[in-house]
Amino acid sequence: MYARMLASPADRDRTIRALQESFAEGRLTRDELDERLGRALRSRDFPELLTLTADLPLDNPFARLPAHRTTPRRTDFERDPPLRRR
């Protein structure tokens, strides 16, 4: 569903919060948390982020994905289409 969709900083932050909550609940060790936080900060797309919380019993931290703009921006081309030749 999110194959190769790029992750935004807000998506990374959401993953980090979920990992920190899991650590606070005792579901992750300090080493596991550190490793996953590093991977979250380096991640570029959703599949990478989703794997970091896949084994944790969380409400889906990505239920409202994507965190970025969902309506496409109009490009300059769409605003000012090229002149048609006669």
Q: Which of 12-21, 50-59, 70-79 tops mean pLDDT?
A: 12-21
The stretch 33-54 carries a mean pLDDT of 93
Chain segment 12-30, per-residue pLDDT in tens: 999 999 999 999 999 999 9
- CA 64 to chain centroid: 10
Burial 28-61 (b: 16+ CB within 10 A, else e): beeeebeebbeebeebeebeebbebbeeeeeeeb
- Domains of the chain by residue range: 9-67
CB distance 51 to 15 below 8 Å = no
What is the predicted pLDDT for the residue at 4? Answer: 78
Cα–Cα dist 73/86, whole Å:
30
Residue 5 DSSP SS3: coil
